[in-house]
Structure 1
Amino acid sequence: MNKTVLKTVLGRNNWFAGLPSELADDILRLGRVRRLNDALIYSASDCADGIVALVSGQIRLTSFSVSGQPSFLVLTSPGSWIGVTSALDGRPHGYDAFAVGETVLFQLSHERFNSLAGESVERYSAFVRLLCDHFRVTTQSLIIHRNRRPLYLLARELLRLADRHGKQAKNGVVIELRLSQEDLAVMIGVGRQTINRLLKSFEQDGIVSTSYTSLTIHDVAALERLRSSEDPGEV
């Protein structure tokens, strides 16, 4: 893959875009491109195997409860990095990472990650900042999920997916992802029945429409108004 194109995609991530040029160039030089198709990248029990960035396609990060039910689901967007926690502490990932469909990854092996991070305090600190970015996003998400109603959470998640994965069409913004109602329920932390009820309400109001392989947002402004709501009550 052309290094210029790769650098542009990775530069969508604020962390990578803010790296000193020498470190960014070294990461590009030492990493390698991988192509997967509906394949496991790593499992929850796997230990550190470097850090991975999504170039194109989709990565699903999933964790399961003792009963086997999904308890956590995140879809990454191009430019996103995963695996940094295990790369730094050497412990198991704690979640599965799966490439959905044709997916292109950029991976910096654990050996080369350690080599770069060990060159100086500044370079080690740069990778710690990536971990801090992930921690801040997680903390913000926990706060929002504890204080906002499901209607707000669904509107926020649909807008996030549209921003990262949506394609503009004549009838709205099309999100071409294999997302079931169960997936959306896990992503925002509510029951499937709640998601079913909210999606039906959105469809009746002409805000969204769904199919097996995609979801189309017809009225982005309506979702933005819902997202701006500060009502912490329950639906």
Structure 2
Amino acid sequence: MIDWNFLRHFPFFEDLEEADLREISSMFITRTYEKGRNVFLEGEGGDELYIIKSGVINIYRIDEAREIILAIFGDGDFFGEMAVLENEQVRSASAKTMEKSILYALKRQDLMSLLNRNPNISMKMLKTTLDRLRKANELITSLTILDARTRVIRMILRLADQHGIQHKGGVLINLKLTHQQIADMTGTVRETVTKILLELQNGKLIHIEKKKIMIYNREQLEKIVLGD
């Protein structure tokens, strides 16, 4: 069971009354995954939606034996909704933990019952899903038409929007990322990522410590992306 107070701060449920939140909380199952564990795999049947209580989840696909990272989700995010909402209920991508994670799982039948009783939740979920599809399309476009340096910088800016924490001197991306993971997110190779990150650090635009990226000059990074 999920803590109903946690649901109160989740965007889909923020307008519900306490009694409804308590009822919904009883529908969730708590699951714990160690780092590097698959939550589900592309092509598998899917009948659960997941909310992240704590941890980091990597959504990815395999393309010609290479892992392509589509998104990274953290505390309070949800994932797995596509298969649950579709009639075929097949996972369109895989999900794996980047660190030990505690997840709340909601079965499809319970989700459908919930959506039927609360249409506003359906609209909020649809809006979020469409926004994710738009970002996925932007990612595909960037992988096909942009040079590697621009792709890496755009990825850094995107992660700053999703996982950034205001910090003395800049914005800290609160994720531990290897150069290989950044390469998998940008459709390039690790050696190229290492070279680009070194250039950005030498230019005092970013700093990397313990695999976390600190952005010192976002404005300049945005100018590079725009070609100014």
Amino acid at match of 2:81: V
Tell me what 1:157 maps to: 155
Q: Is the 1:181–1:195 Cα contact (8 Å) retained in structure 2?
A: yes
3-state SS of the aligned residue for 2:51? strand
* Residue number among 112, 115, 118 corresponding to 2:113 in the alignment: 115
AA at the equivalent of 2:214: T
One-letter amino acid matched to 2:5: T
- The secondary structure found in structure 2 opposite 1:113 is helix
Instruction: Tell me the residue number matched to 1:3.
Output: 4
For residues 132 and 40 of structure 1, do their structure 2 counterparts lie closer, same or farther at Cα, with a shift above 3 Å needed? same
1:180: Cα distance to partner?
Answer: 1.6
Contact 1:49 1:110 in 2 (8 A): yes
Q: How many residues align?
A: 223
Structure 1 counterpart of 2:52, which letter? L
Q: Distance in 2 between matches of 1:100 and 1:6?
A: 24
Q: 1:21 is matched with which residue: 16, 28, 37?
A: 16
CA distance in 1, matches of 2:215, 2:180: 19
Displacement of 1:175? 2.9
- SS of 2:130's equivalent in the other structure is helix
| Counterpart Cα distance in 2 of 1:32 and 1:142 | 34
Counterpart CA distance in 2 for 1:146 and 1:164 is: 23
What does the per-residue CA deviation read over 1:96-145, in whole Å, with 9 as the maximum and x for residues that have no partner?
21122232322211231233345587766665444333322222333344
Give unpaired runs (5+ residues) of structure 2.
Answer: none
8 Å CA contact 1:162, 1:174 repeated in 2? yes
Name the counterpart of 2:82. 85
Judge which range, 45-54 or 133-142, deviates more: 133-142
The 5 Å alignment of 1:190-201 reads 190-201=188-199
Among residues 117, 134, 137, which one is paired with 1:136 in the alignment? 134
Residue 187 of structure 1: CA displacement? Answer: 0.9
Paired with 1:115 and 1:35, the residues of 2 have a C-alpha distance of: 25
Change (3 A) 1:74 1:120: closer
Report the Cα distance in structure 2 between the residues aligned to 1:127 and 1:162, rounded to whole angstroms.
23
Q: Which amino acid aligns with 2:16?
A: S
* 8 A Cα contact 2:3 2:25, kept in partner: no
Q: Indicate the residue corresponding to 1:74 in structure 2.
A: 71
SS across alignment from 1:70:
strand
Instruction: Say what the alpha-carbon RMSD is for the aligned residues.
Output: 3.2
Unpaired runs of at least 5, structure 1? none
Give deviations 1:167-209, integer Å, cap 9, x for gaps.
4444543334331212112212223333222112101111122
Q: TM-score, normalised by structure 1?
A: 0.76
Helix, strand or coil at the partner of 2:56: strand
Q: Distance in 1 between matches of 2:209 and 2:177?
A: 10
CA distance in 1, matches of 2:189, 2:216: 25
| CA distance in structure 2 between the partners assigned to 1:139 and 1:212 by the alignment | 31
Query: Could you say if the C-alpha distance between residues 21 and 222 of structure 1 is closer, same or farther in structure 2, counting changes exceeding 3 Å?
Result: same
The farther-off stretch of 136-145 and 177-186 is: 136-145
Q: In structure 1, how many angstroms separate the alpha carbons of the residues matched to 2:209 and 2:121?
A: 46
CA distance in 1, matches of 2:152, 2:63: 22
